A = this chain, B = another copy of it.
Amino acid sequence: MSKVTSVSNEIRESMDSTGRNARAAAQIIAQAPTGVKNKALLAMAQRIEHDRERILEANAADLEAADTTGLSSALVDRLELTPERIGAMAQGLTQIAALADPVGEISDMNTRPSGITVGRMRVPLGVIGIIYESRPNVTADAAGLCLKSGNAAILRGGSEAFNSNRAISDCLAHGLVDVGLPEGVIQVLKTTDRSAVSAMLDSPEYLDVIVPRGGRGLIEKVSAESRVPVIRHLDGNCHVFVDASADVEKAVEIAFNAKCRRYGVCGAMETLLLANPIAQAVLEQLVPRYQEAGVELRGCERARSMIVECTNATEADWETEYLAPILAIRIVDGLDEAIAHIGRYGSGHTDAIVTNDLSRSQRFVREVDSSSVMVNASTQFADGFEYGLGAEIGISTDKLHVRGPVGLEGLTIQKYIVYGDGAIRP
């Protein structure tokens, strides 16, 4: 079972106080009018623009510390803020202000034979915990989404971004105070003690859900230890299957875009499945393009017989989310084998079929059990903005509550509302 980090009394007491503040603030923000929430978001955005230099200085201190501790260059890249990145943060908050408020939406009202009228009202979840790693922009993004959806938030960023997060959280607090909302609505933990994460995971009385954003290690720790329900964003081991009936041009464009548009995103294709009858025609056009882009190809035996430069794909390749210019290629007999491969090796994130056969497209959509299933579209579309959610707090690969990109609606739930006129149950 779970391996639990021990939590000092000091950290526990600090969590209790943060948690109580959050619960009190949650009651207020849940009832806050849309206009007030939007004003707070805009005030936060303004303050971030206004404090640009201060945020950059704080970030410089973090970068200097990272240099001393020898943080990897990938992490340093995520940690670094530029004037553009700070501008994007402010813009993100402004965009969230422009989104429709999901709170209070009433739906499905209908009158029952007993005479009562029953419907559902969308309400915030309560207090949301976000545990994340180096990127300081998550502080503003996550806070904005939680606020707009009427939730209080407790944020725990990476210790390597301590100063940056502190500077950003000051801006957020200003925005709240500006419109008369309590600072407890958005609390950024001001400690680098790692056991603070464990204290959050052990606080179901204060937190309604935890959203971990980070690498596999973080997600696994949170899943194993948490007594609070978790919305997880796991690997994106995504597939494109090119069916025998596919249009070769479309298949080539989609397969190229799904791999090469960006290598490091969770919606990037990691394995290409080709129906045997069409494989040769697709590879003839596609392989030179991959080679030009510098993509390393690893194939099954049949694929290697069709591609000159292609190493042997092992079991590990089918299971791997490369997030890099490497692609596994497998030739399959047809739809059944493709669906079975995805069921066995996929991570339930995003998988696509390229086909012109209606019946096979329907089977693929029904039978592939992933959070997004696509027909004749690139897996790189897996994104809250592209789906029209406006913004996302992550992409859920869980099967409860919400699947796929999680926007404002995913941070709410429906309660039942019942109206009678003196109705008693017989």
* Cβ B419 vs Cβ A114 within 8 A: no
Among B250, B404, B420, the residue within 8 A (CB) of A376 is B420
* Cβ A415 vs Cβ B404 within 8 A: yes
* Cβ B112 vs Cβ A387 within 8 A: yes
Rounded to whole Å, the gap between the CB of A389 and the closest CB of chain B is: 9
Among B112, B376, B399, B403, the residue within 8 A (CB) of A419 is B376
Among B104, B227, B231, B366, the residue within 8 A (CB) of A104 is B366
A343 located at the interface, meaning its Cβ lies under 8 Å from any Cβ of chain B in the complex: yes
Query: Given A1-B4, A2-B2, A387-B118, are A250 and B375 also a contact pair (CB < 8 Å)?
Result: no
Among B229, B258, B403, the residue within 8 A (CB) of A400 is B229
Query: Given A380-B425, A400-B401, are A386 and B254 also a contact pair (CB < 8 Å)?
Result: no
Each complex incorporates copies of this chain amounting to 2
* Cβ B386 vs Cβ A116 within 8 A: yes
* Cβ A386 vs Cβ B114 within 8 A: yes
A21 located at the interface, meaning its Cβ lies under 8 Å from any Cβ of chain B in the complex: no
* Cβ B202 vs Cβ A420 within 8 A: no
Q: In the docked arrangement, what's the CA distance between A211 and B380, Å? A: 36
Q: In the docked arrangement, what's the CA distance between A116 and B378, Å? A: 10
* Cβ A404 vs Cβ B416 within 8 A: yes
Query: Given A27-B343, A116-B381, are A416 and B401 also a contact pair (CB < 8 Å)?
Result: no
Among B104, B249, B371, the residue within 8 A (CB) of A415 is B371
Stretch in A91-99, A121-129, A184-192 with 4+ CB within 8 Å of B: A121-129
* Cβ A249 vs Cβ B27 within 8 A: no
- Which of chain A's residues 115-163 have a Cβ closer than 8 Å to chain B? 116, 118, 121, 123, 125-126
A50 located at the interface, meaning its Cβ lies under 8 Å from any Cβ of chain B in the complex: no
Of A118, A414, A418, A422, chain B has the most CB atoms within 10 Å of the CB of: A418
Those 3 A-B pairs whose CB atoms lie nearest each other, nearest first:
A377-B420, A250-B422, A257-B424
Provide a sorted-by-A list of 14 A–B residue pairs whose CB atoms are within 8 angstroms.
A1-B227, A112-B386, A116-B381, A116-B386, A223-B227, A249-B422, A250-B421, A250-B422, A257-B425, A352-B418, A365-B417, A374-B418, A381-B425, A404-B415
